[in-house]
Amino acid sequence: MFKRILVPIDGSSTSNRGLQQAIQMAREQKAALLLLHVVDESVLIQSAAVSGALFDDLVRSLTESGKNILAKAAALASQKGVQAKTVLIDNSYMPVADAIVKQARKLRADLIVIGTHGRRGGARLIMGSDAEGVVRQSPVPVLLIRAKGQAAGRR
């Protein structure tokens, strides 16, 4: 039985599928739900075109978007009878997967539920996979929730 379920969310449909599964599990197991949004500043830092005031404006926009995503997720959990703690972190120096695992340790999560797009081949090499990084590093079990319409074993 899980007591503290961490759910990294980014507002995508895949992330929302993970959230819905985590809410159901938290309700059934009377577990605490820990909602995490990572404001990933590293993508802005890597762009030579973004600097100064524009950088600050974009970070503010990403942060506000993250707050909205967390508020909507917490409201959905509340509607389903599950209390949720929200955590918003700024990340500019490590891969998102590392930030998620670091928070899992800090928050003493005993399960991570994360949506995965299930990218393969070139798409995975180019875009990477935060979910894969979490699975590789996590000190606790990780439940991967597939994107809608993704068939098992499809290559």
Q: CB–CB of 37/64 below 8 Å?
A: no
Which pLDDT value is given to residue 53? 75
The pTM for the full model equals: 0.86
Q: Tell me if residue 52 falls in helix, strand or coil.
A: helix
Model confidence at 146, pLDDT cuts 50, 70, 90, reads confident
* Domain map (residue ranges) of the chain: 4-146
Which pLDDT value is given to residue 58? 87
* Mean of pLDDT values over 124-148: 81
Q: CB–CB of 112/4 below 8 Å?
A: no
Which pLDDT value is given to residue 117? 73
Q: Tell me if residue 51 falls in helix, strand or coil.
A: coil
Tens-digit pLDDT profile for residues 69-123: 999 999 999 999 999 999 999 988 889 999 999 999 999 999 999 998 755 444 4
Q: Tell me if residue 49 falls in helix, strand or coil.
A: coil
Which pLDDT value is given to residue 148? 75
**Bigger pLDDT: 140 or 1?**
140
* Mean of pLDDT values over 60-72: 96
Q: What span, in angstroms and rounded, lies between the C-alpha atoms of 76 and 83?
A: 10
Q: What span, in angstroms and rounded, lies between the C-alpha atoms of 3 and 19?
A: 16
Which pLDDT value is given to residue 122? 43
Class of domain 4-146: alpha beta
Count the Cβ atoms, other than its own, within 10 Å of residue 8.
27
Which pLDDT value is given to residue 50? 61
Tens-digit pLDDT profile for residues 4-58: 999 999 999 999 999 999 999 999 999 999 999 999 887 776 665 666 778 788 8
* Mean of pLDDT values over 123-130: 52
